[in-house]
């Protein structure tokens, strides 16, 4: 019995352990399922989060793309607006470079249309465009009936009764005049405020007929040149074309263009240039044009760039020019300082002439009140015409207007350092006989009054070693025969130096009065200081100049000298005597 109970108890114990194992296994499996569910839920949450982020990122990318597109459109719109503004401004100012052939063609058509609208045309004379916007001339030429240009023919056979000539009359007037096609033709043209009946013009006609048997035509455009200067400049192109038609009539009758010589003073020089333009279009080139101080106002910085409206070296086989009233300052000087011809003469440096006291800023003064334009304002300008007609008158006299080149330019002439000896072969004669010499730029000295032809002389001063800082003019006046000649020697020392300095000036004395036979020359000398101090100047200029030697020399090598060490000169005149010998300062 005990054995069976024991066996029964053992069997029951085994069953209890089996149940416990099953329970533990079930719990373990349940834990696994729970963990698996948790992991699954975690994965699902992560997927949802990733999906949400992806959606937002996609939306952001789509939004950014839209914004970039909007910004690009905005930038393009801004660029188009900028281009439109620039194009508009450029259209108002001047044509600029375009990017397509289509645009360039369109602009050309617009420009042609505008040009056609801005032209004024006259019978026989053609059309005239309005002046460019940058010019103060705001008008085309006046009507020919207003200008009333007249042409008069003078010949040796009848100097007192000139014959009027007309253009566009089928040669009737010139055929019925005393015009001789076998003789050369000279034309005289006056300038602003001038007239064909001026005393100077009549003298020029008679001098030309005295020296040569030629046809002389005087171009009288008094009414076209007598109003305002701006109107006269505008009229000059029309008058030039009128002259060209008269010259064409002469050429059609048999005159060789090579034998035509046009002489123009001031604006008249540019009239000659305008006449040549019309002839050049017909392959005709004049033989010679002489420009007498061609006008500078409006031609220096403006029209001077337009060849068709001014005189230049292409207008004739020979263009010779006399410059007498040039200036670097555009408000001063009625003439051009720049060479414009094949031969350019600069008497007395081409600026203010001896004997003239031109008003400073003469161009501005005359522009403000043109009624004031007279010889007191335009003395140097008028000198060009006076010099030319004297070169004609004096052709049979000994004194000649001999000029020479200055390789260093006008500054060297003004300083007096350009004064070659007569033995050189560089000489050229200014004026009527200029066509016989070499081409180039030439300088010469003339006298202060008629007869202007004289003998060039150079004065020099040798300063002392003890000279102080100064700036002024040494006035040296010499008395020779029955004449007086003034030398204005510029003396400038920017600082005190311990060495001698030489200063020079060139002038002309009466011809053939200064020869090697002249033993001595008497003169007076004084010094005028120029007051040009600034506030920064602590070392003022002295009003006294100290010199050791004063000398005169001609182009043949003859010298007259005065020597005395440390001679002090101020504003008071001091008499000196120069002797025909070399001296040494004592």
DSSP line for 455-485: EEEEEEEEE-TTPPSEEEEEEEEEEETTEEE
| Banded pLDDT at 517 (limits 50, 70, 90) | very high
Q: Is residue 180 part of a domain?
A: yes
Residue 285 domain flag: yes
Residues in the chain: 586
Count of other CB atoms within 10 angstroms of residue 144: 18
Phi, psi torsion values for 212, nearest 5 degrees: -155, 140
Q: Could you give the CA distance from residue 41 to residue 521 in angstroms, rounded to a whole number?
A: 131
Asked whether the bond before 571 is cis by omega within 30 degrees of 0, the reply is: no
Residue at 101 is within a domain: no
Q: Same structural domain for residues 278 and 240?
A: yes
Last residue of a domain, one of 423, 444, 465: 444
Q: Please report, in angstroms and rounded to a whole number, the separation of the first and last CA atoms in the chain.
A: 178
The reply to whether 393 and 476 lie within a common domain is no
pLDDT exceeds 90 at position 144: yes
* Band of pLDDT at residue 20, cut at 50, 70 and 90: confident
Asked if residue 206 and residue 270 are part of one domain, the reply reads yes
**362 inside domain:** no
Question: Is residue 319's pLDDT more than 80?
Answer: yes
Q: Show the 3-state SS of 509-558.
A: ECCCCCCCCCCEEEEEEEEEECCCCCCCCCCCCCCCEEEEEEEEEECCCC
Does residue 216 lie in a domain region?
yes
How far apart (Å, rounded) are the C-alpha atoms in residues 158 and 162? 7
351/316 same-domain check? yes
Q: What is the CA radius of gyration of the chain?
A: 47
Give the whole-angstrom CA distance, residue 580 versus residue 558.
8
pLDDT at 34: 80
Pick from 239-248, 349-358, 438-447: least confident: 349-358
| 132 and 246 within one domain | yes
Do 188 and 212 belong to one domain? yes
- 166-199 confidence digits (pLDDT tens): 999 999 999 999 999 999 999 999 999 999 999 9
Copy the structure tokens of residue 534: 């600034």
Give the tokens for residue 354. 């001896």
385 and 334 in one domain?
Answer: yes
**Do 388 and 494 lie in a common domain?**
no
Do residues 381 and 461 share a domain?
no
Residue 44: how many CB atoms within 10 A of its CB? 10
Q: Is residue 85 part of a domain?
A: no
Which H helix or E strand runs over 34?
helix 2-93
Distance between CA atoms of residues 549 and 576, nearest Å: 11
Structure tokens at 495: 């600082």
From 286-290, 320-324, 330-334, 364-368, the region with the lowest mean pLDDT: 364-368
Residue range of the domain that includes 142: 122-356+373-444
The answer on 247 and 130 residing in a single domain is yes
Lowest mean pLDDT among 38-42, 305-309, 518-522: 305-309
Half-sphere exposure in the Cβ direction for 526 (13 Å, CA)? 7
CA dihedral for 262, 264, 268, 271, sign (positive or negative): positive
Which CATH number characterizes residue 493's domain? 2.60.60.20
502 belongs to a structural domain: yes
3-state class (DSSP) for residue 241: helix
- Residue at a domain's end among 407, 424, 444: 444
Segment 198-207 long-range contacts (CB within 8 Å, at least 24 positions apart): 200/385, 200/386, 200/389, 203/389, 204/263, 204/385, 204/388, 204/389, 204/392, 205/154, 205/159, 206/159, 207/389, 207/392, 207/393
**Claim to verify: residue 172 and residue 308 sit in the same structural domain:** yes
CB contact at 8 A, 218 and 155: no
Residue 97, pLDDT > 60, answer no
More reliable by pLDDT, 113 or 231: 231
Q: Are residues 469 and 436 in the same domain?
A: no
Tell me, what CATH number does 415's domain have?
3.40.50.1820
User: What's the pLDDT band for 367 if we cut at 50, 70, 90?
Assistant: very low
Residues 6+ apart with CB under 8 A from 85: none
Are 320 and 270 contacting, i.e. CB atoms less than 8 angstroms apart? no
User: In Å, how far are 227, 403, 558, 584 from 503, measured between CA atoms?
Assistant: 46, 22, 18, 18
E strand or H helix that includes residue 251: helix 229-253
- HSE at residue 534, side-chain half, CA atoms within 13 A, is 2
Provide the pLDDT for residue 575.
96
What residue ranges in 123-251 does DSSP mark as E strands? 126-129, 150-155, 158-165, 185-189, 215-220
Q: Which of 401, 423, 444 is the last residue of a domain?
A: 444
Q: With beta carbons less than 8 A apart as the criterion, state whether 550 and 525 touch.
A: yes
What pLDDT, on the 0 to 100 scale, is given for residue 105?
46
The SS3 of residue 111 is: helix
Q: Is the pTM of this model over 0.85?
A: no
- Name the residues annotated as catalytic: 266, 293, 381
The predicted-structure confidence for 268-312, as pLDDT tens digits, reads as follows: 999 999 999 999 999 999 999 999 999 988 776 554 456 678 899
Is 385 inside a domain boundary? yes
* pLDDT reported for residue 73: 58
> Structurally, how many domains does the chain consist of?
2
CA atoms in the 13 A half-sphere facing the CB of 90? 11
- 484 confidence band (pLDDT: 50, 70, 90): very high
- Is the four-CA dihedral 145, 149, 152, 153 of positive or negative sign? negative
Which of left, alpha, beta for 162 (phi over 0: left; psi -120 to 50: alpha)? beta
pLDDT digits (tens, 9 = 90+) for 24-35: 888 888 877 887
């Amino acid at each position: 019995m005990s054995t069976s109970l024991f066996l029964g108890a053992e069997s029951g114990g085994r069953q209890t352990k089996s149940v416990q194992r099953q329970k533990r296994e079930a719990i373990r499996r349940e834990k696994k399922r729970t963990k698996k569910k948790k992991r699954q839920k975690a994965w699902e949450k992560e997927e949802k989060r990733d999906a949400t982020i992806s959606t937002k990122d996609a939306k952001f990318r789509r939004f950014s793309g839209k914004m970039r597109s909007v910004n690009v459109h905005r930038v393009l719109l801004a660029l188009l607006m900028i281009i439109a503004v620039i194009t508009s401004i450029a259209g108002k100012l001047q044509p600029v470079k375009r990017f397509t052939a289509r645009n360039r063609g369109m602009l050309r058509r617009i420009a042609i249309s505008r040009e056609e609208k801005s032209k004024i045309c006259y019978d026989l004379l053609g059309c005239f465009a309005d002046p460019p916007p940058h010019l103060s001339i705001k008008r085309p030429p006046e009507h020919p009936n207003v200008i009333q240009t007249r042409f008069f023919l003078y010949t040796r056979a009848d100097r007192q009764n000139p014959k009027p000539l007309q253009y566009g009359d089928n040669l009737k007037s010139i055929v019925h005049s005393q015009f001789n096609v076998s003789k050369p033709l000279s034309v005289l043209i006056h300038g602003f405020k001038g007239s064909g009946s001026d005393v100077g013009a009549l003298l020029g006609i008679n001098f030309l007929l005295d020296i040569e048997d030629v046809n002389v035509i005087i171009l009288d455009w008094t009414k076209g040149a007598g109003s305002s200067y701006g109107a006269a400049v505008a009229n000059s192109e029309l008058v030039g074309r009128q002259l060209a038609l008269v010259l064409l009539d002469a050429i059609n009758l048999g005159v060789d263009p090579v034998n035509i010589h046009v002489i123009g003073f001031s604006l008249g020089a540019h009239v000659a240039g305008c006449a040549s333009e019309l002839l050049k279009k017909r392959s005709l080139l004049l033989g010679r044009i002489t420009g007498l101080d061609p006008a500078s106002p409006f031609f220096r910085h403006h029209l001077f760039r337009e060849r068709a409206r001014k005189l230049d070296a292409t207008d004739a086989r020979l263009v010779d020019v006399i410059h007498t009233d040039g200036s670097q300052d555009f408000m001063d000087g009625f003439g051009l300082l720049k060479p414009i011809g094949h031969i350019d003469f600069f008497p007395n440096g081409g600026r203010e002439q001896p004997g003239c006291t031109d008003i400073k800023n003469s161009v501005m003064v005359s522009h403000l009140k043109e009624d004031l334009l007279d010889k007191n304002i335009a003395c140097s300008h008028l000198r060009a015409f006076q010099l030319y007609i004297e070169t004609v008158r004096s052709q049979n006299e000994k004194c000649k207007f001999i000029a020479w080149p200055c390789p260093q330019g006008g500054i060297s002439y003004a300083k007096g350092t350009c004064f070659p000896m007569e033995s050189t072969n560089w000489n050229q004669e200014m004026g009527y006989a200029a066509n016989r010499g070499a081409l180039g730029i030439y300088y010469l000295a003339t006298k202060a009054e008629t007869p202007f032809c004289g003998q060039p002389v150079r004065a020099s001063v040798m300063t002392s070693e003890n000279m102080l800082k100064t700036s002024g003019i040494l006035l040296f006046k010499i008395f020779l025969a029955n004449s007086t000649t003034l030398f204005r020697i510029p003396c400038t020392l920017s600082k005190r130096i311990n060495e001698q300095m030489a200063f020079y000036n060139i002038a002309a004395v009466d011809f053939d009065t200064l020869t090697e036979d002249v033993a001595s020359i008497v003169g007076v000398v004084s010094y005028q200081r120029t007051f040009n101090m600034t506030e920064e100047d602590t070392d003022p200029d002295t009003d006294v100049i100290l010199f050791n030697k004063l000398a005169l020399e001609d182009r043949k090598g003859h010298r007259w000298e005065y020597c005395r060490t440390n001679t002090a000169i101020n504003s008071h005149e001091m008499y000196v005597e120069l002797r025909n010998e070399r001296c040494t300062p004592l």
